[in-house]
Structure 1
């Protein structure tokens, strides 16, 4: 079978691999569509970052570069391992792309997304969504009856935004500001609108990305090159500041602006994965008693997110800006998103 394999910085190759078959308790999935994530781009540009290396293989999978990429995927159940129940061949499904230990305190508490040995399918070994077929444990498989395969590939990124909104503690009718209108910022805005935010403000300087924010749920779009963002947000919130803010850019100045835009006693959620250690004035938190919360991926959110899409509460089709085949993943996928990131949200790959 074909698979897109990451060998090192700037080196992704479509290669032939043996088709994997499920062991007991596992499911083989024929991949329909897989989205290109910013994490995939980070590996392509600067990796290995999260990808394990042969010198330091992943503790759960034993995998190391080269690895198969892709974790935002939908597909069809193609083969069932012994003991699998509740699924049938031909079921349309999505996957929580995790490898976890099941033994650490986080796993025991049900917060498996922060497992101490956490691995992501598509980043930690041979299994990944940029392949014709792949195998996962049954526990991670969710039925998506009522969704198209393309919509299914957007469940994973929407779950990231939805998890962040739930961690924020925003009450229905509250105000929220999202800093960054890239893929994760847009799905966070959509999740906020779907979960009852009274006012959603998006902060973004790029014209193409600003244009996408209202469709995702933004009531107001602020350009930081045109206005003083904290002042503008206070003006929109009766002088208070936003109840919750979301940093979705991984930029020092953006984090500072997000905290400054949060009301006293409010919460700023960091959703982005940073490529460098942040430089930040902690006193800006202390003097306003702002809580800074980290949000990583998701846990126990997929069923709720699937229903948001199935019910039409969130329109994820608007985020799809390209569809390509696996052989074009570098030139029309990675390079397109790197060179024209402002005009793209999500490019889907069909293995």
Structure 2
């Protein structure tokens, strides 16, 4: 089968590799669609980060570059291994792409398996990836979805789960006001979760296309252009007594956006850093102290996929508006990575059909 393989920074190759075996406790999936994630872009332009460099195997998967990439995937089950009796051939599924030690508690009551030692992700740390025609995944990480959800939209459930977990981490409740810096896929999907929960959203985004996408998708109550407007002043205008936003979501990994959140949040506000920073950032500690800002990190998800899937199945989140491109594997670099790195004002979420059938 064909797959996209990461060798090193700037070096991704489309190759023929052996189809995966579907062993005991495993589920074989024909990948329908795989999204290109911001993390993938960081790996391509600045990595390796999560991807284990050649000669330095990941402790759990025992793999190192080259590895098959892609972790935002949807597909159809084509085989199930022994000991799998609750998923059937033909089921539509998405993958929660974790690589964890077998002794980690991943049960429904766990709230920290995503923070366990040597954690990594399928499609980054090894174990196959969604930018291949097929993948074999442990049953624990396979989530059945309704066949009423189109498979291209289903590929966005993984990043939607990132947004869901970020909102959970914030503690924000209905009636709160959230400032979201960045209207890329994660910013927009975090906003979608906020809207589904009755949280008012203010989105700051320099790209006119992405600002329009936030409006068209109905996830931004107020849209601000930070290149021409004073974001902090606008937030104060929109909040009671000019106190500022209750919660902020940093979805850019850009220092000015982080600085803006400190100024735009109310005293005792919560600042959640969602983006992956491949470089050091700085915090003005006096603002953190004098405003008693609660600054929190958030990584991926932990038992959040079922709730994220329910938001889509119940019609509370519409994923269709966020898809701006569909390509095949052969165009992964020129129409995918290069577009999102160098022309990101023209696209939000680009999906890849590994087999080419969906293009």
Q: TM-score, normalised by structure 1?
A: 0.96
Matched residue SS, 1:299: coil
**Pairwise CA RMSD:** 1.5
Shift, 1:94, TM fit: 0.3
2:23 corresponding residue in structure 1: 23
Per-residue deviation, residues 205-227 of structure 1 (Å, max 9, x unmatched): 22111111222411111122222
2:226 corresponding residue in structure 1: 224
2:120 corresponding residue in structure 1: 119
Distance 2:79 2:103 in 1: 28
Matched residue SS, 2:30: strand
2:174 corresponding residue in structure 1: 172
1:324 corresponding residue in structure 2: 327
1:336 corresponding residue in structure 2: 339
Distance 1:170 1:206 in 2: 27
1:196 corresponding residue in structure 2: 198
291-300 or 252-261, which moves further after superposition? Answer: 252-261
Distance 1:4 1:181, change over 3 A: same
Q: TM-score, normalised by structure 2?
A: 0.94
Size of the alignment, in residue pairs? 350
Shift, 1:12, TM fit: 0.9
2:46 corresponding residue in structure 1: 46
Distance 1:308 1:105, change over 3 A: closer
Shift, 1:103, TM fit: 4.3
Distance 2:123 2:76 in 1: 17
Distance 1:174 1:46 in 2: 36
Q: Is the 8 A contact 1:187 1:216 kept in 2?
A: no
1:205-224 map, 5 Å: 205-214=206-215, 215-224=217-226
2:302 corresponding residue in structure 1: 299
1:151-170 map, 5 Å: 151-170=153-172
Shift, 1:154, TM fit: 0.7
Distance 1:73 1:141 in 2: 11
Per-residue deviation, residues 2-58 of structure 1 (Å, max 9, x unmatched): 100011121111101111112211111110000011111111112212210233210
Distance 1:87 1:109 in 2: 23
Distance 2:175 2:25 in 1: 43
Q: Is the 8 A contact 1:252 1:280 kept in 2?
A: no
Distance 1:329 1:126 in 2: 20
1:4 corresponding residue in structure 2: 4
Distance 1:6 1:273 in 2: 19
Matched residue SS, 1:13: strand
